[in-house]
Homo-oligomer: A and B are copies of this chain.
Amino acid sequence: MKTRFFSCLKTLINTGGQSAASNSTKLLLICAISGTGGVAAYADSNSSAAPKKKQRVLVLGTGWAATSFLKDLDISTYDVQVVSPRNYFAFTPLLPSVTCGTVEARSVVEPVRNIVKKRNGEIKFWEAECLKIDHVNRKVFCRSNIDEDLPGDNSFSLNFDYLVIAVGAEVNTFNTQGVKEHCHFLKEVEDAQSIRRAVIDRFEKAVLPELTEEERKMILHFVIVGGGPTGIEFAAELHDFVHEDLVKIYPSVKDLVSITVIQSGDHILNTFDERISTFAEKKFKRDGIEVLTGHRVMGVTDRKLHMKAKATGEEISIPHGMIVWSTGVGTRPVIKEFMEQIGQGNRRVLAIDEWCRVRGLENIYAIGDCSTLCQKKIMEDITDIFREADTDNSGTLSMEEFEDVIEDVIIQYPQIELYLKSKMLNVSDLLKSMYNGKEEVDIDKFKLALSVVDEQTKSLPATAQVAAQQGAYLSNCFNRMEQCKKNPEGPRKFQSGGGRHEFRPFRYRHLGQFAPLGGEQAAAELPGDWVSMGRSTQWLWYSIYASKQVSWRTRLLVISDWCKRYIFGRDSSRI
């Protein structure tokens, strides 16, 4: 949170410098340091024109991206409408904790209206699902899912000037047979609640009379498909729930419980550092959680799970009592339909540019899991860059000419920085190697020097961190829209027409990631390639997750839930 606040502050100070230079605007900077981040409000005192009609901003969604966008948006300058089937924001990284009652469902949610009501002006929120986006007529069609018996039509349409799509993703079953019918997912708060009930149900069922031991074992076999952070954290939570709480109240079946994690890759937590994967695998082995790596699930029935060992091709069927499916993200129908409309039908998620705009469209933005930032390759634009840099049209670049554009190039093509970092170089090293003692370089030499850079292009992961940073970035752009139209602050445009981009492109800053592994142990990748594992990391996790809460209410609730668990254990009532 702090980091975001400081980066925000930095941007503001930069902007402040430009404003002072242009001498036409005054900057009013209000910084409120609070748990929920910094709030920055601008007022352009020179724009004394008659009150013009506010532009309509329509936001689809109330997840990380949308909430982060709304939280900092200056709603006094826009007419803001929000449509989402959920009237609350959920702190999704705590969902695995909700599945076992370590944290209560209500402690991780905050009504959207609460998040925005303290702000200047008013947003309109509608609890409904967006069914269709009509980008030509700037209209969306929505349908509320509330009780059909109530009077009034549930369908309505809304017009917009700007559309921010932040509907998130749905579970990806990879079309595996039986998954939708027989598996639990873990994307929504309701999913976590139903998993909790289902776990208790399995224990209640297993202790019923007139069952064979084999049936009891089968009922108490919990399978997790997917070895990513969510699946692993759920497995760890479940293990703790069973061994810290349930065995005490269901002592007759405590030796029949088993937990299995199935992962198609070679290691669990494979987006983490290798040391963390190894640590997690060892800990799970000690805990008696079976980890089956290199297995692909082929199908699921009510009683069995069929899978194939990738190495040997051997097909195996195992009985199960419950499966939690936690693999990858899939596309929501409304996004699929929209992608077909705009010629992105062959993609998996919406392609956006570096300014979070849906590629090829004006005024339509997409952030969070429903979008993916398609980083432009430098080699595609290399001729344009060269031409733009070659101010004297000599056909070659002098070192001065190169130095003049390199900053703008680096801003637009972050892969350069990643490449330099990976080689432990800096820009002057790049210059040196390119010029190699000469005064000028031609286009071939220029291409050659940068040709390796594009390999470093990385797509961003579908995480809360990316979504939140995109939302904050976009609200910052919206808040300074008018100002930046007058005084563009982005890098030089190398193609079409020249000039500058209005804004600096979005740049993701990875702040690290956590993997709680149960038994008060966690693993973490921290900024600066640090890796931390063990009990102290769990305490770091507690403090960071508490500080990241969206409101003081949820912060207090989450902390009191943790204390409650320490004192009384987890509740096993089936509600």
The reply on A174 being an interface residue by CB < 8 A is no
Given A87-B200, A575-B88, do A209 and B151 touch, yes or no (CB 8 Å)? no
Q: Write the A560-575 contact mask toward B (1 if CB under 8 angstroms, else 0).
A: 1000100110011111
- Are the CB atoms of A147 and B201 closer together than 8 Å? yes
Given A111-B249, A117-B249, do A87 and B150 touch, yes or no (CB 8 Å)? no
The reply on A162 being an interface residue by CB < 8 A is no
- Complex Cα distance A124/B252, Å? 10
- Are the CB atoms of A208 and B149 closer together than 8 Å? no
Which of A36-44, A152-160, A421-429 participates in binding chain B?
A: A152-160
Q: Write the A146-185 contact mask toward B (1 if CB under 8 angstroms, else 0).
A: 1101111110101000000000000000000000001000
Which of A69-77, A211-219, A235-243 participates in binding chain B?
A: A211-219
Chain B residues with CB below 8 A from A106, complex form: 104, 571, 573, 575
Main secondary structure of the interface of A (DSSP, over half): mixed
Chain B residues with CB below 8 A from A319, complex form: 151
Nearest chain B CB to A354 CB, angstrom units = 35
Given A147-B198, A189-B575, A573-B109, do A208 and B86 touch, yes or no (CB 8 Å)? no
- Complex Cα distance A50/B210, Å? 30
- Complex Cα distance A359/B325, Å? 54
Nearest chain B CB to A246 CB, angstrom units = 10
Chain B residues with CB below 8 A from A198, complex form: 147
- Complex Cα distance A218/B147, Å? 14
**Number of this chain's copies in the complex:** 2
Within 8 Å by CB of A560, from B122, B193, B560, lies B560
- Complex Cα distance A567/B551, Å? 13
Nearest chain B CB to A385 CB, angstrom units = 48
Most chain B C-beta atoms within 10 Å of own C-beta, residue among A111, A144, A154, A216: A111
- Are the CB atoms of B573 and A150 closer together than 8 Å? no
- Complex Cα distance A122/B114, Å? 48
- Are the CB atoms of A202 and B150 closer together than 8 Å? yes
- Complex Cα distance A215/B152, Å? 6
- Are the CB atoms of B153 and A210 closer together than 8 Å? yes
- Are the CB atoms of A156 and B210 closer together than 8 Å? yes
Nearest chain B CB to A157 CB, angstrom units = 9
Query: Which B residue's beta carbon lies closest to that of A189?
Result: B575
Within 8 Å by CB of A150, from B104, B219, B564, lies B219
- Are the CB atoms of B208 and A575 closer together than 8 Å? no
Chain B residues with CB below 8 A from A520, complex form: none
Q: Write the A6-22 contact mask toward B (1 if CB under 8 angstroms, else 0).
A: 00000000000000000
- Complex Cα distance A153/B151, Å? 44
The reply on A207 being an interface residue by CB < 8 A is yes
- Are the CB atoms of B571 and A87 closer together than 8 Å? no
Chain B residues with CB below 8 A from A153, complex form: 210-211
Chain B residues with CB below 8 A from A127, complex form: 204-205, 208, 574
Nearest chain B CB to A560 CB, angstrom units = 6
The reply on A417 being an interface residue by CB < 8 A is no
Chain B residues with CB below 8 A from A200, complex form: 87
Given A151-B219, A151-B303, A189-B575, do A204 and B146 touch, yes or no (CB 8 Å)? yes
- Are the CB atoms of A211 and B152 closer together than 8 Å? yes
Given A190-B575, A200-B87, A572-B87, do A208 and B152 touch, yes or no (CB 8 Å)? yes
Most chain B C-beta atoms within 10 Å of own C-beta, residue among A109, A182, A209, A575: A575
- Are the CB atoms of A204 and B87 closer together than 8 Å? yes
| 15 additional contacts (CB under 8 A) given A109-B571, A146-B201 | A104-B104, A106-B571, A106-B573, A106-B575, A109-B575, A111-B572, A114-B249, A117-B248, A124-B207, A126-B207, A149-B303, A150-B219, A153-B211, A158-B209, A553-B568
What are the 10 A-B residue pairs with the smallest beta carbon separation, nearest first? A88-B573, A127-B204, A113-B249, A149-B302, A152-B211, A553-B568, A152-B215, A109-B573, A146-B205, A151-B215
What are 14 A-B pairs with beta-carbon distances under 8 A?
A87-B573, A109-B571, A117-B248, A126-B207, A127-B208, A128-B208, A144-B204, A146-B205, A147-B198, A150-B219, A150-B321, A152-B210, A556-B564, A556-B568
